[in-house]
Amino acid sequence: MIYTEKKHLANLPTETVRLYEKFKKAILELNSDLIILPHKYYISFKLEKNLIDVELQKNSIKFVINLKAGKLNDAKGIARDVSKIGHRGMGDYHIQVYDDKDIEYIKSLFKQVLP
């Protein structure tokens, strides 16, 4: 089966789609060479490996940052360490967003995973 961004966005509320588009733009501003690769349960932003995984939910977006536990500098403490629980995505940190109020700060977290 072929997975696409369009399939991931289908049937989501307009606000969630808009939120995804804002964060997608923010991620691509960090590195325009990133490849967007949809999978069954999430969308990856990658270079040679997955860097940020995005799981779209009805009223929120869950980002997975592909860093090992203890490697993320998160002064505000908004990322959740999921290294000891089962989860989708490649990294040990989840960030759940419901709006774009912290987008610049979250971009600074995403930047830490980029080479």
φ, ψ for residue 38, nearest 5 deg: -70, 140
Helices marked H in the chain: 5-9, 14-30, 103-111
CA 34 from chain center: how many Å?
Answer: 13
Q: Cα–Cα distance between 74 and 34 in angstroms, integer? A: 23
pTM for the full model? Answer: 0.93
**pLDDT, tens digit (0-9, with 9 covering 90-100), for 29-40:** 999 999 999 999
Class level of CATH domain 5-111:
alpha beta
Q: Which long-range contacts (CB under 8 A, 24 or more apart) does 75-82 make?
A: 76/102, 76/105, 78/102, 78/105, 78/106, 78/109, 79/109
- Rounded to an integer, the average pLDDT of 87-112 is 92
56-86 confidence digits (pLDDT tens): 999 999 999 999 999 999 999 999 999 888 7
Give the pair of three-digit tokens for residue 46.
């990658």
